[in-house]
Amino acid sequence: MDIHLVVKIIHMTSVALALLIFVLRALTLFVGTQGQQPNPNGRVAFVALQHLSYTVVVVTGVVLLFMKHFDVEPWFYAKIILFLVLLSSQIKVYKKDENILLAQRRAGLVVGSIAFIGLIALVMIKPVFS
C-alpha cells in the first residue's frame, strides 16, 4: 500500500476521533454541570483523547504537506484558520476558571461547532478559486 494513502487514512481516522470526542465532551456542558464548570466525570480521559487526536491530526498533516512538497491549494489556508479557531474555542470552553459563565462556555461550543462543520465542509467541497 502507498505510504501517502496510509498517512491519509491515519489523518482521517484521527479527525473522526476528534469529532467524536468533541461531541462527547460537549455533553459535559449540558449534563451534570457543577456551578459554572463542566461535568468533571471523564475529564482526564476526554482531555487525553482530544490532545491525542489533535496531535495526530497536526503531525500527519505536516507529513502530508511534506510529501506534497508544500504545494497546497488556496483553500488550505482557510482550513488552517478554521482549525485554529476550533482550538482556541475549545481552550476557552473548557478552561478551569469560575469566572467563565456556563452560557459563555456554551457560546464557545457553538463557535467551535461552526468551525468544525466549516472545516469538514471545506475539505469535502475543496473549492476552486480562479
Task: Residue count of the chain, please give it.
Answer: 130
Residue 46 has pLDDT above 90, yes or no: yes
Local confidence band at 47 (pLDDT 50, 70, 90 cut-offs)? very high
Phi, psi of 39 (to 5 degrees): -60, 125
Summarize the confidence of residues 17-22 as an average pLDDT.
97
The amino acid sitting at 82 is L
Q: What is the pLDDT of residues 62-111, one digit of tens each?
A: 999 999 999 999 899 999 999 999 999 999 999 988 899 999 999 999 99
Summarize the confidence of residues 33-53 as an average pLDDT.
91
CA nearest 57: which of 110, 113, 12? Answer: 12
